[in-house]
Amino acid sequence: MRRILAGLLFIPAAALFASLPGCGKEEKPKTPSTLPPLASRDSGGKSSGGGPKKSIEPGKAKLIGRVVLKGDLTKPASLEPVMLENKTDGKFCLMGSEHEKIDQTWLIGKDKGVANVAIWLNPPDGAEFKVVEDKSDAVIDQPHCVYIPHVLAVKPGQVLTIKNSASVNHNTKLDVDELVNKKFGQTIPPNGSARHELKPQSAPVNVACDFHGWMKAKIWVLPHQYVAVSKDDGTFEIDNVPEGEFTIVAWHEGASPAFFHGGKKGTPITVKAGDNKLPDIEVSAK
């Protein structure tokens, strides 16, 4: 297996911004977040100087961006051979769409858009975002024999719902940071589901199915709501963003060696009122 190298390049965001009023209705802000999972684990609500952190209220700005492939990428590996080797469920697994019969690590869409890139903001030092909880479920499904979506972001207030829309059993296992989260491993019958609460942790939760060894997914559990995962065409949006100076991080599981654009602290950006169109994030597979 060849090693895939990926790098993310950001053009400074000084020239980002047109002004359109943004955003939908928000719920009432709740408890302030800790720093995002790639910053310090827990500061107890205090700044590095020991005083209380500045709380940053939600805003009405929007970040609009796209992740694109730089250069070329070989065709994703087919999962059909390993599916055929599964004597119990192989025939059913092969009934999935073409999208569900290829390796999910690199999914390239129209105009080289890259799916499954997680993008989030970090607050400045000495500050934290005030959290607005999302009461909807964060859902990951198994209609055949891959996880959809392949990368999922869980925001504050959300509970993870693991669905099995297939007509075969799936045994889902979550590889978590056990200092933060409870382990999960459960067989989910056809058309069944399970719910599991997750707390923010500093690395993605690895998802796997013991019955179908090729099934993998990643879940980022964020301590605030300013996160998105790029769609099939590489586009993403982050709503209700405050104005100000922040850093932005982009993560793709195929990147090496550190996975993160701009490192764990991210790349500086300036957010202004209205719609902020970011330069394309370029992902290299070389």
Output the average pLDDT for the chain.
85
pLDDT of residue 53: 87
Q: Is the pLDDT of residue 47 over 50?
A: yes
Q: pLDDT grade, residue 231 (50/70/90)?
A: very high
Q: Is the pLDDT of residue 65 over 50?
A: yes
Mean pLDDT of 66-77: 87
pLDDT of residue 83: 98
Which comes out higher in pLDDT, residue 165 or 36? 165
SS in 3 state form for the chain? CCCCCCCEECCCHHHCECCCCCCCCCCCCCCECCCCCCCCCCCCCECCCCCECEEECCCCEEEEEEEEEECCCCCCCECHHHHHHCCCCHHHHCCCCHHHHECCCCCECHHHEECCCEEEEECCCCEEEECCCCCCCEEEECCCCCCECCEEEECCCCCEEEEECCCCCEEEEEECCCCCCCCEEEEECCCEEEEECCCCCCCCEEEEECCCCCCEEEEEECCCCCEEECCCCCEEEEEEECCEEEEEEEECCCCCCCCEECCCCCEEEEECCCEEECCCEEEECC
The pTM (predicted TM-score) of the whole model is 0.82
Mean pLDDT of 78-96: 97
Mean pLDDT of 227-253: 96
Mean pLDDT of 108-118: 93
The ranges assigned to domains in the chain are 1-41+61-69+116-125+237-286
Mean pLDDT of 41-70: 79
Mean pLDDT of 14-29: 38
